[in-house]
Amino acid sequence: MQIDRTDKGILSELQSNARITNTELAKRVNLSPSSTLERVKKLEASGIIQQYVTLLNTKKAGYTCITFVEVTLARHGETPVKNFFKSITDMDEVLECHHITGEGDFLLKIATRDIPHYDELILHGLSALSNVQHLKTSVILSTFKHQTQLPI
């Protein structure tokens, strides 16, 4: 799907506020409401718009310990990697999982209520996985930039 200037405007506005009404969105991108809705539906159908979400303030939601964990597997290949993915999919605290280059194999972003909760997840969750060889944790002390919008 080709994305033109108007589509970029729609995407930019929706990334800023996905709850914007179609009428307001149409005003901001200088289209009729029906044309705007049609374009949004096409962007959704093409997969460019993947989903709509509500972003929470982690601390106010009770998650005061956010970490990045580099995971190194003992064995590689299709089956061990699939088993790892399946295991972490069942861990609600794992917010993101990225297959990476470098010394580690995966980078996880994890949210826990506090350090004891994190300790429990590591001891009884990640470290307990049979194929996990090494974990390296970085605790987030503070965040200066957290952006979810892609530059369009």
Indicate the domain borders of the chain.
Answer: 5-46, 65-139
- Does the pLDDT value for residue 38 go beyond 90? yes
Q: What is the reported pLDDT for 86?
A: 94
Could you identify the residue written with the tokens 């009770």?
62
5-46 and 65-139 share one fold = no
Q: What is the reported pLDDT for 1?
A: 84
Look at phi and psi of residue 116 and say left if phi exceeds 0, alpha if psi is from -120 to 50, else beta. alpha
**What average pLDDT score do residues 49-57 get?**
95
Return the CATH number of the domain spanning residue range 5-46. 1.10.10.10
Cα distance between residue 15 and residue 152, in whole Å:
10
Q: How confident is the model at residue 134 (pLDDT cuts 50, 70, 90)?
A: very high
Percent above pLDDT 90 for the chain: 98
Exposed/middle/buried for residue 26 (C-beta within 10 Å: 0-12, 13-18, 19+): buried
> CATH class for domain 65-139?
alpha beta
Instruction: List all residues 6 or more positions away from 99 whose beta carbon is below 8 Å from its beta carbon.
Output: 105, 106
Q: What does the pLDDT look like over 56-91, one tens digit per residue?
A: 999 999 999 999 999 999 999 999 999 999 999 999
